[in-house]
Amino acid sequence: MNKMDFPAQGSTELVPDADVNSPEALAPYVDNGTDLFSTDRYVSEDWARAEWERMWTRVWTLAGLAADVPEVGDYFKYDLGPESFIVTRCGTGENDIKAYYNVCQHRGNRLVMSEFGSTTSFKCMFHSWEWNLDGSLKNIQDRETFREEVVADNPPLTEVRCEIWAGFVFINMDPDAGPLEEFLGPLPDHLKAYRFQDMKIVKDLETPWPCNWKIGHDAFIEVYHVHAVHPEILPFFHDTEAQWDCYENGMTRQLLKFGEISPKFADQESLNDGLKMMLGEVDVDPADFDGEPNEIRKFVQQAKRKWAEARGIDYSAYTDNQLTDDWNYGIFPNVTFNAHPEGLLIQRFRPHPRDVQKMTYDLMVLIHPVPDDPNYSVPAYMGVEEGTDLSGEVRPERRYVEYGEEGLGPVISQDAYMMAYVQQGVQSRGYKGARYAETEQQLRHWHTELERYLNGEK
Ligand code: FES
Ligand SMILES: [Fe+2]
C-alpha cells in the first residue's frame, strides 16, 4: 500500500515537500497486516519467560544517563527484570563507561545495593572480594584458603556491552549484538537538533504499576485515547492529523501538532485558553493576536524563534514544526521520548522480575537549563512541579511513588489510572485480542517486531 491509497484517518505528511533524507520526511508505510494480536503476551508466564530469553537478553535498553557518572568511580545501578547491572565510569575519556552484571563472583551476592554511588573499587559486603573499576579482580580475601584451581582465572566481573548515544547509556546482554547506532536506525539523526547531551535532568521518578509492562508501554505510543483520557488538551492539540512513522527494529514515531484545535473539540472558532497559554509562553499577549485560531501554530513557531533570540537561546537547528510540536519516538523495546526544544520527557517501562502482571514505570524529564528566567517553562503535560529548580545545577533525587499517588503530573496520572483496568480486561474470556486503527499502526509495528524475537526470526 502506498500513501495515496491510504484512508483519511491514516498518517498525515506534515511537510509534504520534505526531502526524503530530512528528519521530517514521512517514512514509507509498513504493512503489518490486519490480524488481531493475542492477549497471552500480557498474562502468560511462558510468554514472559520467552520474552526474557529471546528479546530482553538480546536488545539494547536504556540504562541511564552518562551525566550520572561524571567522575571516575561514579556508578549507578540499573535493574531490568530479574537482572541488575552496575554502570560505572572507569576513566576520563568520554566513552570510558563500563557495565557489569551486579553480582559477586564468589557466592553471588549483589555487589551494589544503592541506586547511585561513588567508589574506588567494588567490594562485596559478604566476604570482601573486591574488583577494580575496570572489572578486573583486585583482591580475594584470604586467598590462600582456596585451592588454586578454584580462583586461578582471577575471575573478573562479567561485563555487558555498553554504548552511549547523546548522553544516554545503553546496555546489551548479547555479546554478539550489532552496535547501538545500527539498532537505533534513523533516530539519532532525526533527533540531533535537540542536543540531549546538553540537557539536565530536573525530574526523576519511579513507580510500580499493576499491569504487564507492555500494557503500560502500549498507551504511550498512540494518541487515539487523547479525546477520552485527556480531553483537556484538545483545545490546543491536534490528535487526529499526525504523522505516524514506522522504522526498522520496531522503532516508531509520532509527529504531533500542538497549537491546533482538535476537530473533536466543539468550539473551533474561539481563541481558547489553551491557545492563549501557548501565546503567553512566547511572550505574546493574546489580545495582540488578530489572526484566526487555526493560524496560531505557525504564529507561535515564528514568535518562539524571536523569543529564543531575545534570550540568547539558539533554536537555529530546529525546524519550524519542532518548535511547537511533540516529536514522540518509541525506542524499541521499552522507552518513549517526547522531544521539545525546551526539554525531553523520557518514559521507561520495565518488567517485574517475577510477576507478569506488574511493572515499573520510570519518568525522567530533562531540560536545556536557562538560569534566572522566570518565564522559561517546559510543556505542562510533563508534570514538572512549580518551584522545580530549572537551572540544571542540582540533580534531583529519584522519587518513589506508589501507584495512584501524586507525582506523575495530571496528564500521565490519567493514563496510569487506566492501566489496572486494561490488565484485568485483557484476561477476560470475552476478549478476542487487539484490533488496531491505522492511527495505532505504531502498536502493530511494535508487537510485530516483538513477535519476530519470540518466533526466532530475529
Ligand atoms: S558472596 Fe561476595 S565475597 Fe562472598
Ligand atoms: Fe495518554
From CA 348, how far away is CA 81, in angstroms rounded?
13
**Atom of ligand 1 at shortest distance to CA of 127?**
3
Ligand nearest to the CA of 412: 2
CB atoms within 10 A of CB 62: 20
| 225: helix, strand or coil | coil
**Atom of ligand 1 at shortest distance to CA of 107?**
1
Q: Is the domain 3-55+192-455 a CATH 3.40.190.80 member?
A: no
Average the pLDDT over 5-27 and give the result.
83
Q: Ligand 2 center to residue 224 CA distance, Å?
A: 9
* The pLDDT of residue 375: 67
Higher pLDDT: 47 or 371? It is 47
* The pLDDT of residue 87: 98
Looking at the predicted structure, is the pLDDT value of residue 345 above 90? yes
Residue 6 pLDDT grade (very low, low, confident, very high; cuts 50, 70, 90)? very low
Average pLDDT score, the chain: 94
Looking at the predicted structure, is the pLDDT value of residue 416 above 50? yes
* The pLDDT of residue 368: 92
Q: Ligand 2 center to residue 286 CA distance, Å?
A: 28
Q: Ligand 2 center to residue 209 CA distance, Å?
A: 15
Q: Ligand 1 center to residue 87 CA distance, Å?
A: 20
* The pLDDT of residue 378: 78
Q: Which secondary-structure segment (H or E) carries 327?
A: strand 326-331
- Cite the residue boundaries of each domain of the chain with CATH code 2.102.10.10: 60-176
* The pLDDT of residue 369: 87
Looking at the predicted structure, is the pLDDT value of residue 8 above 50? no
Which of 166, 165, 157, 169 lies closest to 68 in space, CA to CA? 169
Give the pLDDT confidence of 258-309 residue by residue, as tens digits: 999 999 999 999 999 999 999 998 989 999 999 999 999 999 999 999 999 9
The CB-side HSE value for 366 (13 A sphere, CA atoms) comes to 22
Q: Ligand 2 center to residue 228 CA distance, Å?
A: 9
Percent residues over pLDDT 70 in the chain: 97
Closest CA to ligand 1's atom 1: 107
* Dmax (CA) of the chain: 86
Contact (Cβ atoms closer than 8 angstroms) between residue 203 and residue 365: yes
Residue 388 pLDDT grade (very low, low, confident, very high; cuts 50, 70, 90)? confident
Q: Ligand 2 center to residue 217 CA distance, Å?
A: 10
**Atom of ligand 1 at shortest distance to CA of 104?**
2
| 108: helix, strand or coil | coil
Closest CA to ligand 1's atom 3: 127
* The pLDDT of residue 4: 44
How many whole angstroms from its chain centre is CA 358?
Answer: 19
Name, in order, each residue with C-beta under 8 angstroms of 309's C-beta and a sequence gap of 6 or more.
315
Top CATH class of 60-176 equals mainly beta
Q: Indicate the pairing of strand 200-209 with strand 399-400.
A: parallel
Residue 370 pLDDT grade (very low, low, confident, very high; cuts 50, 70, 90)? confident
Ligand nearest to the CA of 254: 2
* The pLDDT of residue 10: 77
**Atom of ligand 1 at shortest distance to CA of 109?**
1
Give the pLDDT confidence of 218-273 residue by residue, as tens digits: 999 999 999 999 999 999 999 999 999 999 999 999 999 999 999 999 999 999 99
Average the pLDDT over 374-389 and give the result.
78
Contact (Cβ atoms closer than 8 angstroms) between residue 86 and residue 99: yes
- Cite the residue boundaries of each domain of the chain with CATH code 3.90.380.10: 3-55+192-455
Residue 7 pLDDT grade (very low, low, confident, very high; cuts 50, 70, 90)? very low
Mutate to test the pocket of ligand 1, among 102, 103, 105, 106 (most ligand atoms within 8 A of CB): 106
Q: Ligand 2 center to residue 361 CA distance, Å?
A: 14
Average the pLDDT over 379-399 and give the result.
87
271-275, 398-402, 405-409: range with lowest mean pLDDT: 405-409
Looking at the predicted structure, is the pLDDT value of residue 73 above 70? yes
Mutate to test the pocket of ligand 1, among 101, 102, 103, 104 (most ligand atoms within 8 A of CB): 104
Q: Which residues are near ligand 1 (CB < 6 Å)? A: 104, 106-107, 109, 124, 126-129
Residue 181 pLDDT grade (very low, low, confident, very high; cuts 50, 70, 90)? very high
